Structure 1
Amino acid sequence: MHTQHRVPPCVTRAAPPNGAASDADGLSEQSASCPCPAGMVGRFRGCHLLGNVCVGRRDPPSRTGTRDSGRGTMSDAQELARLLQELKDRSGRSFAALARQTGLSRSSLHRYCTGTTVPGSFGTVERIARACAAEPDELDGLYRLWARADTGREEQAEQENAEPEGAEPEGAEPEDSPPRTAPAARTAGTSRTAGTASPTAPRMARRRLAWLRALAAVALLAVTAVASTALPYDDGPRAGERGDGGRRLPVPPWSMEPRGVPPEFFGVTMNTDTGAMPGFRVGAVRLWESETRWSNIETRRGHRDWTVLERMVSAARRARLPVLYTFGGTPHWAAPGGVRSVYTDARAAPPDDLRDWDRFVHRVATRFRGRIDAYELWDNVGSRSHYAGSVRTLAEMTRRAARIIRRADPDAAVACPSVSRLWEEEGRDFLRALVATGVYDYCDAAAVKLHPRRADGPPEEMIELARRVQRTLYQADIAVPLWNTGPGKDIATTPHLDARRAADHAVRFYLAGLYSRFFNVSHTYFYSWGGPNVPVVLQLVGEAPTEAARHVERLQEWLDGARLASCGQGRLADLPENAYRCRFERSGTEAGERERFLILWTSGGHADTRLGEGAYRVREMGGDAHAVRPGERVRFGERPAMVELRD
């Protein structure tokens, strides 16, 4: 079951002893109790629970020693093999029976389960695991192990053959040459333009492709299944009907194996430099409108003031909130003739000398190792107000930064630059051009701006935008999670919504993100917290949370420990055209007990439908609840409602 707080890592890192103004990288390791099973303690660092599976990185990371058929570290391969063997034993199947069910040979299965060979694709691992009735959380753990085992050889080769770019001794600025780029090469199944360098450390993109294709096949089946299977609604409006005042926003319904909703899904972008954190429940923070841009920190070459970033990161750590740090805002001194940005202290142009970029990335990643959880490698690209350089230069900056971060903090995630203006052809062209560089092979996630066409428009429009972005990446054989990092350009000029509309908009923003999980959206960051100049104010610094914030917190309470199973909209889901529904389940308090519930809402106006079998209670966002009966008609609107069901 997911909880509000993050599970503490096996190793924590202390803040620099010299305070916020220090430029030293003096981080010390401290022991902490590890919540993972005893078999993991002492063998892994950064170990944590992913569902029911404990995952982590070897401590220390194995860079030498026996290799496994040229693929990965022997320890990673053996751990993967051990889990596969345990699944096989648990299923009670022989190698012969498992071979018949998976279509693999007995000898191959034996090699995979003994660690002699690491499967060449995760699709093979998944096929074995599903034949042995693996749970979704176990699949997630297997993927993590397989990905590390599969990349060990390539990372080892890079470690041995490449210069340590960005490395610099304390007190001196490096005069190193730019990081080396691998020779051009074409990898099967990967789309590239001629002359684009193949990454020396391919990340999650191509490895997730087989899994994503399998999910796409499930999606096609799910659309048919959801449209034709009896739902807990008997006779909602059919084709051509709609609720009053709603907008037609057709998006496909889907159904899949229920998956948990992690707390960090509910993120916010911070619009303050005070160190104040949200006074209501959120799961993660993004540092951008927080005076932590490159231009804020390094006002002249080599002179860095870490005061504000230290304050913000330390406050987030105290609140047990994962931190996403966003790079951006080239200092004037680094691009004196470059295009100016919307920020008076920064340029939108990339730095004239990319070694300045390397040094800054290196400094941030080493100083905040273990304290910043993820890095977004530029904000709002696609808009010349934030990035006015070429796609080629941006791709090179991304490759260099990803390599530096991985060496400085291997446990930190890397998100490719956040692409904006995706409702416009120019923005989509920028995304396609960035995809063509092959740079997403270096990233753990693709940051994108998913938002309504207008800042005060229905949040459900984000779902269609997520589907388009996912399709663009999929067509290029790229399968990385999407991180929704913010709004469109008109966010700063759109008037405030009234309290009720603001509350409905905020909670539906996250519900639209949950609907979009089928299109690989894994993180959402509401824009923003702490500032007044946005249509929806969650909370001002020093003031109480607004109604919008309280509703966001209520949604998280509803979803505590829940797993998302399906979402649907309109007639294909037997709903009015303006109506949306997501179905959840969670384990009950007694053994074998299962709780099920729905969340209903509209994109505009009201809708009504008849409750089907099992419905017994409706909960409102304001906290009220009332009993209902199967067959009873319920009316709902832009303020979501929860319908609880009995088996």
Structure 2
Amino acid sequence: MPHVRTCLSLLGAGSLLLAGYADGDPFLGQHLLYLSSYAHIEAKAFDGVRIWGNAGTIWRDIEPVRGQFDFSRMDGLVAAAGARKLDVIHTLGQTPFWASSRPWEIGNMGFGAAAPPKNMNDWSDYVSQVVNRYRDRIGAYEVMNEPRVPEVVRAISPGFYSGSTAQLVEMTLRVQEAVRKNAPAAKVICPAMDGETGPARLQYFLALGGGKYCDVIGFHFYLAHQSVADYRSLLGRVRAAMKQNGIGDKPIWDTETGMMVAQSGYNVRPREPTGPLSVVYGDTEAARHMAKQVLAALQGGVARTYWFAHDSSSMGSTLPDKNTGELNALGVAYRTLRTWLGGTTLGVCTVGDALGDCSLMRGQQRYARIVWGEHDSRTSLMAGKVRRLALLDGSMRNVADLTSDDQPDTLSNHFQDPMLLVY
């Protein structure tokens, strides 16, 4: 996989230039919600999987009664991922009714789930049980999914976490202690904030010292308009919060991102009037946005991206019939982009909504470019010694075989879709 080092300088409102390389290989992961979905997944089909929200994997399912643990469904998911050589991260949390400090509060995962435990030792015991069981079979443990941080954002519902930020910092410390003791090679991911208010919530968490207990800053880059500009804005604010709190050198992982896709299910409709859930995209349009977002992430030094979700019925990358394992255009594009990036390094790169040009290097030689928005013709490509042209749908054509009716601008959907030019 590519090895990218980042040195960014602003070219303009719509693009960035990357000159040089940044630490970390591009990593494209997925969420798989159902054990049955693994039947259609080949070994190393992508780089890793995040286990979050799957039935039987949250705290309230694993320990329904104090001291009585049920890992049966979690075992199956971890084993299935391991058999396919997929790196695993797991998101902790969702308090059982018996342990909850507010057992009758209705959170996203049920009564009492969003509240912190009334006794933090119960949290430590649960985390220690999980980490001791899976040790390094799980590569990283994420502390919490999308906490609201009520000191910063007015909470309209308990969501996934309704406690104080000070309590969240303590829970993060206790995760670090359990991981260092039982799985020292595994990483701790800070609670993953999300969306437009996420940087402010992250800033508050880090200001209370939470960042020193994490190896990785997790963030969910859900975008209001699926634009590179939106992505860059969020990433810039995340980095500013990290720098302000003295942890600017820690890696950033996008542990959950995606968009609503019509071809993921039946009657997929907008859920909110504005924001990431306000628009339903066709799968080809979603593929275009996804590819640009991933390249913007690599260019910005984000070490990992996890797409949500391979087998969802609204934000996934498979067809509505999950039993077939057949990919829609978004799923094919995600697989194709990972193939393009394999075995290369990222060279000079501009990423914008309307224009993009990223060189892929093999050693000191430019192997290929990922481009969009360029008005290339067969003649100009041949003059530039481009031998092949590949599209996000996985197809590849020899440039010499293109005809006047089959030019790059036609193949690339009016220049909007990223395509690969191979030298």
Place the TM-score, normalised by the shorter chain, in its bin. Answer: 0.7 to 0.9
Contact conserved, 1:450 with 1:487, CA < 8 A, in 2? yes
| Structure-2 residue corresponding to 1:399 | 173
Partner Cα distance (1:354, 1:486) in 2? 27
Matches within 5 A, 1:418-567: 418-421=192-195, 423-424=196-197, 427-454=198-225, 457-458=226-227, 461-478=230-247, 479-487=249-257, 493=271, 494=277, 496-517=280-301, 521-534=302-315, 537=318, 541-543=322-324, 544-567=326-349
1:334 pairs with 2:99 = yes
Contact conserved, 2:259 with 2:280, CA < 8 A, in 1? no
* Structure 1 residues 260 and 349: CA distance shift in structure 2, 3 A: closer
| Structure-1 residue corresponding to 2:186 | 412
| Structure-1 residue corresponding to 2:375 | 608
1:269 pairs with 2:45 = no
Contact conserved, 1:561 with 1:586, CA < 8 A, in 2? yes
Contact conserved, 2:124 with 2:178, CA < 8 A, in 1? yes
Matches within 5 A, 1:195-274: 218-220=7-9, 223=10, 250-257=14-21, 261-262=25-26, 265-274=27-36
Letter in 2 for 1:499: D
* Structure 1 residues 489 and 304: CA distance shift in structure 2, 3 A: farther
Contact conserved, 1:417 with 1:447, CA < 8 A, in 2? yes
1:614 to partner: Cα distance:
4.6
Matches within 5 A, 1:3-402: 218-220=7-9, 223=10, 250-257=14-21, 261-262=25-26, 265-274=27-36, 276=38, 279=41, 281-291=45-55, 292-335=57-100, 337-338=102-103, 339-344=105-110, 347-382=113-148, 384-402=158-176
Partner Cα distance (1:496, 1:277) in 2? 28
TM-score normalised to structure 2 length:
0.80
Give the structure with higher Rg (CA): 1
SS of structure 1 residue aligned to 2:359 = strand
Contact conserved, 1:502 with 1:535, CA < 8 A, in 2? no
CA RMSD of the aligned region, Å? 3.1
Aligned length: 382
Partner Cα distance (1:566, 1:626) in 2? 25
Letter in 1 for 2:328: T
| Structure-1 residue corresponding to 2:274 | none
Partner Cα distance (2:73, 2:228) in 1? 32
* Structure 1 residues 597 and 401: CA distance shift in structure 2, 3 A: same
Letter in 1 for 2:398: H
Partner Cα distance (1:430, 1:326) in 2? 18
Partner Cα distance (1:488, 1:333) in 2? 34
1:582 to partner: Cα distance:
1.7
* Structure 1 residues 501 and 569: CA distance shift in structure 2, 3 A: closer
Contact conserved, 2:296 with 2:351, CA < 8 A, in 1? no
* Structure 1 residues 407 and 563: CA distance shift in structure 2, 3 A: same
Partner Cα distance (1:616, 1:274) in 2? 41
List per-residue Cα deviations over 1:90-117 (Å, max 9, x = no partner).
Answer: xxxxxxxxxxxxxxxxxxxxxxxxxxxx
Contact conserved, 1:585 with 1:596, CA < 8 A, in 2? yes
| Structure-2 residue corresponding to 1:111 | none
TM-score normalised to structure 1 length:
0.54
1:639 pairs with 2:417 = yes
SS of structure 2 residue aligned to 1:368 = helix
Identity of aligned residues (%): 25
User: Structure 1 residues 430-439 or 336-345, which shifts more?
Assistant: 336-345
| Structure-2 residue corresponding to 1:625 | 397
| Structure-2 residue corresponding to 1:41 | none
SS of structure 1 residue aligned to 2:308 = strand
1:502 to partner: Cα distance:
3.3
| Structure-2 residue corresponding to 1:108 | none
Partner Cα distance (2:230, 2:148) in 1? 20
| Structure-2 residue corresponding to 1:579 | 355
Partner Cα distance (2:238, 2:169) in 1? 18
List per-residue Cα deviations over 1:500-522 (Å, max 9, x = no partner).
Answer: 223334434433322332xxx11
